[in-house]
Amino acid sequence: MTRLTRAAAAALLACALALPGALATASPSLAAPITAAPPITAAPPITAAPPITAAPPIAAAPVAAAPAAPVGAGAALPAPTGPYSLGTTVLPLVDRSRTDPWVPTAAGRELMVTLHYPAARSGDGRPAPYATGEEARLLTEALGIGGVVPGEALARMRTHGRTDARPAPGRYPLVLLSPGFGGSRWTLTHLAEDLASRGYVVASVDHAYESYGISVPGGRTLTCVACTALDEGGVHASVVTATRAADMRFVLDRLTGPRPAWRHARVIDARRVGMAGHSIGGASAATAMAADPRIDAGVNMDGAFWEDLPAEGLRGRPFLMLGTHDGMHLPGGQDASWDRTWPALDGWKRWITVAGAEHFTFSDYPVIQSRFGLPQPALSADRAVAVTRTYVAGFFDRHLRGLPRPLLDGPTPDNPEVHFQHR
């Protein structure tokens, strides 16, 4: 059985960022650890021309060239597509009722949550940072691209949110986001910003010790202890999904409970909650839904299901599987967990694949490739962003807001890359 390990996760991501198309031919031993292994609990198992009036020789002396622009200068996330301005805030949360599975001596389970939400058009608040310099440095170094994409340059990529801006009046559905293994919550920022601009409160969660680097209060940085645990064996990836499900339960409690951690929590409509994730974060969406009936709808973006759903499925709640159109996530593909999970989904469901997509298409990595001059994959960053935003937002619009979204009913000319495998 293929295992999820830090080395394989980093190699797969570095391959996606540096060698477009390579994942289509990568061996299962490289590609499978994040997306293909069956769950342990299962039954079977990124020279002008001279001027026309030439100056005299003295005036035409060579002019010193301007200094080269820094790498990634002016880099920005794609603009959100919705009508709302964006506010953002960061909440450090600690669940002291639980022992952290990766560092049992820690004082509880630490989570870092970034909220994106519809904001009033007052212009208050500072521009929100993309990441901390240390977080970005650790990620680029882990991927072996630090020489091309300096961490400080990546951390300065421009976002569209304003820190602690006043929320727009009204109440909005809540969407929880969980990143892929080794990644951080900010690698899903383009999606979080777009959902918030469309009228959602979005809580992007960093899970302690499961990212290459998470900056937490007190100047500390939590690194990927879980990576080491999985590398050394004896721990299955289902521990990650089960732990993240418990993390999301705690986040929901702290955002929608009687003493919420966010002072503007009144804008959250706790009766309408969804969850989406990338890679193992997507698998965790299914696990979290099975464990917590408050989560009304879920999206798995290209992640293997590391645990079987219970006999009662998701109790009729809707679920979207959005993946690559290749040998991994087509029906009958290498990731047998998608074929096995499909019949267990007992509510509205779709199995959608995207031609030209790679595993990291559904995150910010295509944007990073485009903005920092890395080789481009078959599916352009613009299309990767558009498809991910359109179908994830369409799904939540339909199931959390009751809005008609015909694009979920079958192929459309505007999205020729999108294929419906099952409906």
Q: Does residue 329 carry a pLDDT above 90?
A: yes
Percent of the chain whose pLDDT exceeds 90: 77
- Beta strands 214-216 and 109-119, pairing class: unpaired
Cβ partners under 8 Å of residue 149, min gap 6: 46, 71, 72, 140, 368, 372, 374
The model's pLDDT over 224-258, given as tens digits with 9 standing for 90+, comes to: 999 988 888 778 899 999 999 999 999 999 999 99
Using DSSP, state whether 89 is helix, strand or coil.
strand
Closest CA to 220 of 144, 128, 143, 110: 110
Cα distance between residue 152 and residue 139, in whole Å: 11
| pLDDT tens-digit readout, 338-372 | 999 999 999 999 999 999 999 999 999 999 999 99
- Whether residue 423 contacts residue 410, with contact meaning beta carbons closer than 8 Å, is answered with yes
Q: Which of 245, 282, 263 is nearest to 109 (CA)?
A: 245
Specify the 3-state DSSP secondary structure of 112.
strand
Per the DSSP assignment, residues forming a β-bridge with 323 are 353
Q: Which fold has domain 6-36+84-422?
A: Rossmann fold (3.40.50)
Assess contact for 82 and 197: CB atoms under 8 A. Answer: yes
AA identity, residue 233: G
pLDDT at 9: 53
SS3 label, residue 85: strand
Q: Using one digit for the tens of pLDDT, what is the confidence trace for 49-78?
A: 333 233 333 233 333 333 444 555 689 999
pLDDT digits (tens, 9 = 90+) for 156-202: 999 999 999 999 999 999 999 999 999 999 999 999 999 999 999 99
Do the beta carbons of residue 180 and residue 206 sit within 8 Å? Answer: no
Tell me how far apart the alpha carbons of residues 153 and 141 are, in angstroms, rounded to a whole number: 13
What confidence tens digit (pLDDT) does each residue in 6-54 have?
Answer: 454 554 454 445 444 433 333 332 333 333 333 333 333 333 333 323 3
Compute the chain's Rg from CA coordinates.
22
- Rounded to an integer, what distance in angstroms lies between the CA atom of residue 32 and that of residue 26? 9
Q: Of 179, 246, 240, nearest to 206 (Cα)?
A: 179
- Report d(CA 228, CA 36) in Å as an integer: 20
